[in-house]
Structure 1
Amino acid sequence: MDSQARAAVRVAGVSKTYGKGGAAVQALREVSYSFGAGTFTAVMGPSGSGKSTLLHCSAGLDRPSSGSVWLGDTDLAALKENQLTRLRRDRVGFVFQAFNLMGSLTVRENILLPLRLAGRRPDREWLRQVVEQVGLAQRLRHRPAELSGGQQQRVAIARALVTRPEVVFGDEPTGALDTRTGADVLRLLRSVVDTHRQTVVMVTHDPVAASYADRVVFLADGRLVGHLDRPSADQVANRMAHLDDWGAGC
């Protein structure tokens, strides 16, 4: 990431511990990192390395045990729960492995659901752009059960984009898709970064998925242990196989 780029999300000295006493598990250990605005970052690491915890703390879905998280100029620790809920609804988009669509709603209604919950009217021109970008213009009246898995994930991406969020967070967004469909979704995410300068932070276990990112950051045992810029899938896989050889620091 360009060191001069404005940070969309910044975590500073973030630690997260679950449980207490002898049963305590430290998921993150003093992690500090800035996700640049208008960039695509993939977060990788072995199972249990803390990557999903980092995503959840960065997105305001979970509070760190110590340290601070900033979304733009907003310190998430200073927000009450209702304020944090509004921030997640208005300034953050989410795309998960499970599409989390409402089966009783049409594609259009699913896309517009965040705005409806916020009591906001849609920007029709932006909605049109988003729908065209994700290739759903001919599917707006369909319901999720009438769509393929890839189309359902495109609905989820459109829903994440419709509020014009500062950051879109993806937690294994291609994990439930076959290879070809997953590649289509990754090209779409890459496109919204390149076309709209959207900021995307994606947790993945797949080196091919990670290769679509501008930067791949690696975690091990709750610590950041390095990064690669615009790597190939083979380079990512090689680094994943040798994380223990890396020194601390990113």
Structure 2
Amino acid sequence: MFRVRGREPVPGDPIGIDPTRAAVRLTQVTKEYGRGPAKVTALDDVSIGVAAGSFTAVMGPSGSGKSTFLHCAAGLDRPTSGTVRLGGQDLGELNETQLTRFRRTRIGFVFQAFNLLPSLTVEQNITLPLRLADAGTDHDTVHGVTAAVGLTGLLGRRPAELSGGQQQRVAIARALITRPEVIFADEPTGALDPDTAEDILALLRRAVTDLHQTVVMVTHDPAAAQHTDQVVLLASGRVVSRVDAPSVPRIKDAMARLRRTR
């Protein structure tokens, strides 16, 4: 497993990740919406790499480009210019059908709203990516993943019969089931109470530490971001700084400096 913390900078890489150890890499990525006077630049020449086996938080003020960053990095949206490579694959080389297939098997997603199908059981929701990809379902793998996220005994229930924290655990198990290159989490604790949020963040931390996954999490919450290896700060669509070995005071200080320089 490769860690971001303590790594020596690599020339030309703004956050010091060896290109051979990057699970996901954006190179000179720009994303624009609209044309002419109404054009909005959501990402502006972003170059960044995320180390394999690391937990990274992406933060910034409203309108800084956090969601656009996640959408481009995860192949949910195509950049206007620049390249996105995930696990060595240039996403720009894939057509829409190939990109959809790639996302199903190589990328995991965890969202604030859980995005579970209410008519399916817990087990069916977890294994949905495998069935959509026409991949076989290994029951030992399913039970291993569900045990790891604390869902043993709940596989036959439907989402309406679960608490919010349990539903997010289902979403995390669904993200883990294909052993993806990267798991992207968009405000995964935003709909949860503080104690449940801590449990979910600890679970994501264990996915990195114990299962050697790579997690990229968009959040506005310093308390959530302190669980990560590093915090990347965006402003006006650009990567402006990072915080290694983050703590709540260090993150708040970095955000305050960012506000003073805007």
Query: 2:45 — aligned with what?
Result: 30
CA distance in 1, matches of 2:203, 2:41: 35
Q: What does 1:149-160 correspond to in 2, within 5 Å? A: 149-160=164-175
The alpha carbon displacement at 1:138 in A equals 1.4
Secondary structure at the aligned position of 1:202 is classed as strand
How many angstroms does 1:72 deviate by? 1.6
TM-score normalised by the chain length of structure 1: 0.96
Asked if 1:101 is matched to 2:112, the reply is no
Which residues of 2 match residues 171-210 of structure 1 at below 5 A? 171-210=186-225
- In the alignment, structure 1 residue 10 sits paired with structure 2 residue 28: no
Please give the TM-score of this superposition, normalised by the length of structure 2: 0.92
Residue 239 of structure 1 aligns with an amino acid whose one-letter code is: A
Cα distance in 1 for partners of 2:144, 2:255 equals 37
Across the two proteins, how many residue pairs are aligned to each other?
Answer: 247
Deviations 1:20-56 (A, max 9, x none): 1111110010000001110000000001000110110
The residue identity in structure 2 corresponding to 1:190 is: R
CA contact (8 A) 1:225 1:246 kept: no
Shift of 1:244: 4.3
SS in 1 for 2:153: coil
Secondary structure class of the residue paired with 1:201: strand
**Which residue does 1:217 correspond to in 2?**
232
Residue segments in structure 1 that go unaligned for 5+ positions in a row? none
Which amino acid is the alignment partner of residue 41 of structure 1? Answer: T
Check the 8 A contact 1:7/1:36 in 2, yes or no: yes
Letter paired with 1:47: S
User: Which residue of 125, 130, 147 corresponds with 1:110?
Assistant: 125
Moved more, 234-243 or 217-226: 234-243
- How many angstroms apart in 2 are the aligned matches of 1:92 and 1:68? 17
**Contact 1:45/1:218 (8 A) holds in 2:** yes
> Per-residue displacement from partner, 1:84-114 (whole Å, max 9, x unpaired)?
0011011000000111111111101110111
Any conservation in 2 of the 1:8–1:72 contact (CA below 8 Å)? yes
2:68 paired with 1:53: yes
**Aligned equivalent of 2:152, options 107, 114, 137:** 137
Return the offset for 1:129: 1.8
**Where does structure 1 differ by over 2 angstroms across 4 or more consecutive aligned residues?**
2-5, 123-126, 244-247
What is the percent sequence identity of the aligned residues? Answer: 61
> Displacement of 1:121 after TM fit?
1.0
Matched, 1:85 2:129: no
Letter in 2 for 1:127: V
Task: Find the aligned partners of 1:160 and 1:233 in 2 and give their Cα distance.
Answer: 27
Q: Are residue 170 (structure 1) and residue 185 (structure 2) matched?
A: yes
2:77 alignment partner in structure 1: 62
AA aligned to 1:46 is: P
1:146 aligns to 2:161 (yes or no): yes
In 2: Cα distance, 1:237 partner to 1:244 partner: 11
- The answer as to whether partners of 1:226 and 1:246 remain within 8 angstroms in 2 is no
Shift, 1:127, TM fit: 1.6
**SS at 2:217's partner residue?**
strand
Aligned to 1:229: 244
Q: In structure 1, what is the equivalent of residue 10 of structure 2?
A: none
The alpha carbon displacement at 1:245 in A equals 5.2
Q: Match of 2:34? A: 19
Equivalent position to 1:120, from 135, 144, 149: 135
| Residues 155-210 of structure 1 deviation map (CA, whole Å, 9 limit, x = unaligned) | 00000100111100001011111111111000000001000110000000000100
Q: Distance in 2 between matches of 1:229 and 1:123?
A: 38
Q: Secondary structure at the match of 1:242?
A: helix
